[in-house]
């Protein structure tokens, strides 16, 4: 298989009570695995795609053969988005960001509280399925939302942080209360990992 689903870096129940065990099991073992399987199905038809990285594929979708372009867009996107998602969370996470990222957040949003409010608001307003992302563009942090599994990588931007607002990410525990999920999610953010992604984005 060209692409593989990475194992969760912690137990399915490790993010309780913010994200419940049943949601994590379904989300990782069914949803993420399906994206990887679908992406591998496209690679079977065009084996040269298997030699590319996810970033290569998503940053140049125009070079992907047309018969699998939508499949690659949705499923390479799903794969890269979820791989990031598991890594930027951790048990006993949360708290305040530190270091360079904290300074940049204060500079661009005024305060961490203000950033959280803006991020939650943007992600709450994403109609239907999609993601809220934090990206670094022209020396500034920016909040963007994307529908489906689209990735900021396709716009030449590296996602520093992202929250999944597909119903599969929260519906079992939060039902239709997306805003409640968004507000609780900060409790499991792994700011060390997010800081590393910020350092990568600045390169």
Q: Which stretch binds Mn ion (CB under 5 A): 139-147, 160-168, 176-184, 190-198?
A: 160-168
CB 166, min distance to Mn ion, A: 5
- Smaller CB distance to Mn ion: residue 164 or 193? 164
CB contact at 8 A, 189 and 89: yes
Q: What is the DSSP letter of 5?
A: P
Count interface residues toward Mn ion (CB under 5 A).
Answer: 2
Tokens representing 32 are 């993420």
For the bound state, the minimum distance from the C-beta of residue 5 to Mn ion, rounded and expressed in Å, comes to: 12
**x/- map, 40-79, Mn ion, by CB under 5 A:** ----------------------------------------
**Tokens encoding 118:** 């803006």
SS3 143: strand
Closest CA to 38 of 84, 79, 99: 79
| 150 contacts Mn ion (rule: CB under 5 A) | no
Least CB distance from residue 99 to Mn ion, whole Å?
Answer: 28
CA distance 124 to 178: 7
Stretch that binds Mn ion, among 55-63, 87-95, 163-171, 175-183 (CB under 5 A): 163-171
Is position 193 an interface residue for Mn ion (rule: CB under 5 A)? no
Q: How far is the CB of 140 from Mn ion (least distance, A)?
A: 27
Residue 164 interacts with Mn ion (CB under 5 A)?
Answer: yes
Contacts of 19-24 with C-beta under 8 Å, sequence gap 24+, read: 19/89, 19/170, 19/173, 19/185, 19/188, 20/172, 20/173, 22/172, 23/168, 23/169, 23/170, 23/171, 23/172, 23/173
Whose CB is nearest to Mn ion? 164
Q: Which residues bind Mn ion (CB under 5 A)?
A: 164, 166
């Amino acid at each position: 298989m060209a692409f593989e689903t990475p194992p969760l870096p912690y137990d399915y129940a490790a993010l309780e009570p913010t994200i419940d065990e049943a949601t994590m099991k379904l989300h990782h073992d069914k949803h993420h695995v399906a994206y990887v399987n679908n992406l591998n199905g496209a690679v079977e038809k065009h084996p040269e795609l298997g030699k590319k990285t996810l970033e290569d594929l998503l940053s140049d979708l125009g070079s992907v053969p047309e018969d699998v372009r939508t499949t690659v867009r949705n499923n390479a996107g799903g794969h890269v988005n979820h791989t990031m998602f598991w890594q930027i969370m951790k048990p006993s996470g949360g708290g305040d960001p530190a270091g360079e990222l904290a300074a940049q957040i204060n500079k661009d949003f005024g305060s961490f509280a203000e950033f959280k409010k803006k991020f939650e608001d943007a992600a709450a307003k994403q109609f239907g399925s999609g993601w809220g992302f934090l990206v670094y563009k022209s020396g500034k942090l920016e909040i963007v939302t994307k529908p489906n599994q689209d990735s900021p990588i396709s716009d030449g931007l590296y996602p520093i942080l992202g929250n999944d607002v597909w119903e599969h990410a929260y519906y079992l525990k939060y039902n239709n209360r997306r805003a409640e999920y968004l507000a609780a999610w900060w409790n499991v953010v792994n700011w060390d990992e997010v800081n590393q992604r910020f350092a990568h984005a600045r390169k």
